[in-house]
Amino acid sequence: VTGARARLTAARRRARSALRALLGDDAARRFFADPSARLGLGILAALALFAAMGPVVLPHDPNASDFRLARDAFGAPPGPSTAHWLGTDPLFRDLLARLAHGARLSLSVALSATALATGLGSLVGVAAGMTHGTRLGALDAALMRLVDVVLALPYLLFVTAIGVAVGRADAGAIFLVLGLTGWTGAARLVRARTMELAQRDFVLAARALGAGSLHVALRHVAPNIAGTLLALATVSVGQMILAEAALGYLGLGVQPPQATWGRMLHEAEPYLGTKPLLVAAPGFAILLAVLGFHRVGEGLQGALDPGGAALSRRRLPVDLLIAGAALLLVAGAPPGRVRPPIGAEPEVDRPIRGGTLRVATMVQVRTLDPALAYDEATGAIEELVFARLVTWDRDGQLVPELAREVTAERGGRTYVFTLREGVRFHDGAELRAADVKRSIERALHPKTPSPGASQYDMIEGFADFHRGAAPHLAGVRTLGERAVAIDLRAPDATFLPRMTLAFMAPVCPSSGAVVDAANPTPPCGAGPFRVERWEQDASVRLARHEGYFRPGHPYLDAIEWLTGVRATTQRYKFEDGQLDYIRDLTGTDSALYRADPAWSRRGRWVTRKVMNAIFLNTELAPFDRLAMRRAVAFAVDPSALEKLRPDLVALDRVLPDSIPGPPRDEPMRRHDLARALEQMAAAGYPYDPATGRGGYPGVIDYVAVPDSLEQAAAEVFQQQLAKVGIRIRLKLVSYPTYLAEVSRRRTSAMGWTGWGADFPDPSNFFEPNLSSAAIQDEGSQNYAFFRDQEFDRVLKEGHVEQERERRFALYARAEAIVRDLAPWVPTHTPRVLELWQPYVRGYERSAVISPRFNEVWLDPAARASAAAPEGGRARLAGVLVGVPLARAGAPR
Amino acid sequence: MRAALLHLLRRLGWAALLAAGVTLVSFAITLLLPGDPARMLVGPQASSADVRHVRQVYALDRPAPVRLARYLRRLVHPGPVERPRGTPEHRSCAVGPLGVHLDLGYSFHYRKPVVDLLEAKAPRSLELAVAALLVQLALGITLGLVAAARRGTRWDDAIASATLLGFSAPTFVIGLGLQYVLAHQLGLLPYDGYGTTASEHLRSLVLPALTLGVLGSALYARIVREELRSLLLQDFIRTARAKGGSRLRVLVVHALRNALLPIATLAALELGALASGAIVTEKLFRWPGIGQMTVEALQNRDGPLIVGTVLFSSSAIVLATLALDVVALALDPRLRSRGR
């Protein structure tokens, strides 16, 4: 202890002597006489010590997850314990260790970037301000135009471009980008200040006495702008720490799992409501650095400028107290609670017509034209607006919709769709066979920028028509007014499922014969709802189609669909009764609802028809070796992800359970560390886990996108692969860059891939992603560049096989090939929690289309019995007396 | 006067030159960025045959110089004085004086003319920018004044920590915090959106403006405090105090007036930056402004929209600094007396 104290005293003495050398004796004495400045220096020294020693002293590896831990009841990572003093981050890594490691990078980048920015800015500013209006005014003008140029440069675009150019950035590059883009504000401010100072009496007096510009700048201007600069620098330190994290999202940051304070803050965002400590800890660290810097700055200024230095009274460090109080307030806040369901339990059981259903989605709707839309969120809306010839019933069986019946002829090479009588479009026109032909030709027209036209290349004459060589699609024939025959080039088991997609939905005659993307027509179909109003970036309002062919349907008057609403906002609105149904909850909020007894019976998890996997490029070293691919397949254990987050299900096979297919009693593959090590040895890279010696010698890039779930998965897989001697480096890039890189030949060795089913059929998972036909040099959909004759043959047979059991047997074989040759390692399927208020009735889960509101009705009595929303003042009173009003109020 | 006018004209010319340069640079960057605009348009699941087809429909398969030439030829061209909505040729043009047309093309994803999108969204971002700036100025100057008047006291410390807390916190902490308390707990304000009626609209404006205001006020508070520090030691302040002016009156009337130039400088920079879109805040509160659109354009590799938004935001910044120079002359007569 005495040794440590002696060292501390020595360090303090060294700091003093350094300051004395820098400021001169007098100023240094004044600085150290100021208790406020001493405290500031102490804070900065403590942070520096934390950054320097923390990583050495603290027992935890900042990048190692502790999977022995478990989420708390609210789906948030565990809190403080004796093992983890501050608890862990969302990946169960020690929070304190990550803070300490993050301190190094965050503090050094922020301080140096601030110094560069303010230094450069003040140089330019003083030079411009001093020359303004003098003979050297041209310099002022030139410098200010330079500032204009830098300011006018599109920052976002610029930084993205730099990110792409330098590839993976290190701390040095980040420092340069932040420093070189951040100086303009300081320059303009300092110039304004200098111009004003240059008019002051003391400057004029100095000039009258014959002082030169340099003398004035150094002796008179510099001391007077020091305060402004320090003020600027103080706020800039915190900003720079945050900006580093923002750069990470633009592809120009230090890559995970490396911790920085800014990134820790951002990764904690979803947990603001359930584990605020995750936000408070890095936030407090940043604030401490800023306050320490502020106090030192104040002290320096007082020391340099004795005129204003009558401040060094000992006083309460109110700023630190406030910061501490804020920390306690945030960190100590109880986890948020959810309000109980709104409205009484329903009374009537017969559907009632009327009412508006209010729902929301996180994404924005960019087109409602069924020939162009190809995303999940728009799909749910189009389901209600555009009825199809055939569709899926609740259990996932194909059933006729606008067609009265569908018959297969010529051994499945011709399908005849007989239309219902009296089906009317939203504009009143009656559906005829010609409308079906026109709608199909409209979607596949050579001038239509269709995202899915090639899915219909089995139709006779498709190639000629789509190329523009034929005026009509020969394979689609009208048989009178009420029937359409579609001829296929060969029997095709995927044809009818593809007819359920929105691309093939009949549209009104007013929608025309071709889609002019630049001049869209209003959406108009024959579904139960018509689009009444569509405000871009706000909402889509659907109203009942009075001419809908099913009498009495739909029950609802209207559906109000808010677009682009964040998950948390949706939750609040749902609790307030502004939304009737919700499915976009964050994982931790979902857990919050599941933990609430009033909601746990109502909630329902829906597994999405999406599979995520690691692709392994079979053409590129080291995964051109089968044993290496198998080693990855055995080493990765996606069940660890299930421990971290509630919003996913680990997947041990290609086909998610929600897709009908071969029986899935046995897992396709099991996590097996011993076999993974065996495969490593077989590949020629034996690895000894005890010593950590051996393994694959190189470091392999893993490409993914900076999406919260996929990033977490990648960081977990990185740890798991390291255990068998495969060292990977994460490369998180923006989505367009990701798509460009993984689809280029011989570019990415491994990375994330995901696929959402277009329709519930096994072929839709294998053919687009793993068949050799999907390989291209550029824009390949087969990211693994996997090519296997047997596999291709099985897929081809499955594609035409009409008999269900024989088909499924073929896809069981396909799955076995993927298991054995491991071009993909399936990892997880996301899931969402669906909730709806008690008065929402008739919402039935559809096996295929989710959400599907066709049969929904509202119980007006149950809805009206909901307590009138409390006024703001009542709530304020509730908050002030500490009564969680929302729980006490509303009747059950 | 004539000199000033000439100066202004020269600056405007420079602004136009800068806009042209920015357009060229951003167009070049959109061509060089990795990622395929056609792929982004059809989505990740479309087959490569469909990607090729769409690329052809949008003429994205032409060589880069051809596309640039086409863009530039259309960018500024003469045309009818009235914008003829019916003719497809000029549907994507903005019509300036004397029938000068500005054609920024169509956004791939919005499927609308870029000028129409800017026309619809720019006023909203501008509105939010002005509201946020007012909050920043009101909050920042008040706190700065108090801190200066009570310099070296607990008040000063408290203000320092409060403003620095605001400035060092990420936007989402401030924004979500305000939303939680004011909208969710107290139910005083709408959560997000733009509103349909005027009063709804004004109420929706409060949360985003407040968020940006709290975030930005720290800098004004610090700068005002610094400016006043040196001014308060000056003779004319001492004289004003000696003549019996109250402390507050002296601070506001005499001292603050002299600190207006740096404040105006900050405000102009902030206005320029805010007008080109507050990305995070707009997204948090679903404010349909330029910021969200800019990010979306970049995310989608929506070339025409990228160039359009970039052109708009750099014009906003250049115009704001130009306005600042004019205001500076008005604020400080001494600057006028100098010069050639």
B222 vs A872: CB contact, 8 Å cut-off? no
Residues of chain A with pLDDT under 50: 309-310, 312, 867-868, 870-874, 877-892
Could you tell me if B20 lies within 8 Å of chain A, comparing CB atoms? no
- Of chain B residues 121-150, which have a CB less than 8 A from chain A? none
Using DSSP, state whether B197 is helix, strand or coil. coil
Whole-Å CA distances, A495 to A371, A414, A507: 17, 10, 20
Give how far B78 is from chain A: nearest CA, Å.
22
Highest mean predicted confidence (pLDDT) among A194-198, A237-241, B283-287, B317-321 = B283-287
Quote the strand ranges of A410-525, DSSP E. 414-419, 476-479, 483-487
Partner-chain contact A453 B158, CB within 8 Å: no
Q: What is the pLDDT of residue A881?
A: 42
Task: State the nearest Cα–Cα gap between B224 and chain A, in angstroms.
Answer: 9
Q: How far, in Å, CA of A872 to CA of A863, rounded? A: 22
Residue of chain B whose alpha carbon sits nearest to that of A271: B173
Task: Collect all residues of chain A within an 8 Å Cβ-Cβ radius of residue B195.
Answer: none
Burial class (CB in 10 A: 0-12, 13-18, 19+), A101: buried
Whether chain A has a CB inside 8 Å of the CB on B176: the answer is yes
Average pLDDT of span B260-282: 86
Cis-peptide into A851, omega within 30 deg: yes
The pLDDT value given to residue B338: 46
B340 — contact with chain A (CB < 8 Å)?
yes
pLDDT, one tens digit per residue, over B42-73 is 999 999 999 999 999 999 999 988 988 988 88
Closest CB from B46, B92, B225 relative to A374: B46
Task: Measure in Å the smallest separation between the Cα of B274 and chain A Cα atoms.
Answer: 13
Residue A541, token pair as written in the block: 């309002």
Looking at the DSSP assignment, which residues form a beta bridge with residue A833?
A: A605
Select the residue from B93, B150, B165 to test the A interface by mutation, using most A Cβ atoms within 10 A: B165
What one-character-per-residue DSSP string does A372-416 give? Answer: T--SHHHHHHHHHH---SEEE-TTS-EEESSEEEEEEEGGGTEEE
B24 touches chain A (CB under 8 A): no
> Between residues B339 and A153, which one has the greater pLDDT?
A153
In whole angstroms, what is the distance from residue A495 CA to residue A243 CA? Answer: 51
Identity (one letter) of the amino acid at A870?
Answer: E
B318 touches chain A (CB under 8 A): yes
Residue A307 has its nearest CB partner, among B50, B233, B339, at B233
Q: Give the per-residue pLDDT at A314.
A: 56
Global ipTM: 0.91
- Assigned token pair, B292: 């969200």
- Please answer yes or no on whether B165 and A287 come within 8 Å at the CB atom: yes
- What part of B 178-237 touches A (C-beta under 8 Å)? 179-180, 183-188, 191-194, 218-219, 222-223, 225-227, 229-230, 233
**Structure confidence at residue A311 (pLDDT):** 52
Of B50, B219, B233, the CB nearest to A453: B50
* Closest CB from B25, B269, B288 relative to A538: B288
- Quote the pTM value: 0.91
Q: How many CB pairs under 8 A join A and B?
A: 323
Q: Are strands A476-479 and A483-487 parallel, antiparallel or unpaired?
A: antiparallel
Residue A871 is predicted with a pLDDT of 47
Give the pLDDT confidence score for residue A136 in this predicted structure.
84
CB within 8 Å: B14 and A148:
yes
In the block, tokens 């269900």 appear at A804
Q: Tell me which residue has tokens 């909505």.
A: B85
Angle between the N-to-C axes of helices B114-149 and B260-275, in degrees from 0 to 180, rounded to the nearest 10 = 150
Cβ contact (<8 Å) for A196 and B262?
A: yes
Query: Which residues are bridge partners to A756 per DSSP?
Result: A610
Contact B340 A133 (CB under 8 A): yes
List the Cα angle A101/A103/A106 in 5-degree steps. 115
B85 touches chain A (CB under 8 A): no
The Cα–Cα gap between A457 and A477 comes to 16
Q: Do A879 and B186 touch (CB under 8 A)?
A: yes
pLDDT tens for B151-171 read 777 888 888 878 888 777 888
- For chain B, first and last CA: distance in Å? 13
Q: In a mutagenesis test of the A interface, which of B7, B42, B45 is the best target, namely the one with the most A β-carbons within 10 Å?
A: B45
Identity of the residue numbered A697: P
Q: What pLDDT sits at residue B1?
A: 64
Instruction: Please indicate whether, in this complex, the C-beta atoms of B265 and A189 are within 8 angstroms of each other.
Output: yes
Which two three-digit tokens encode residue A805? Answer: 């059991």
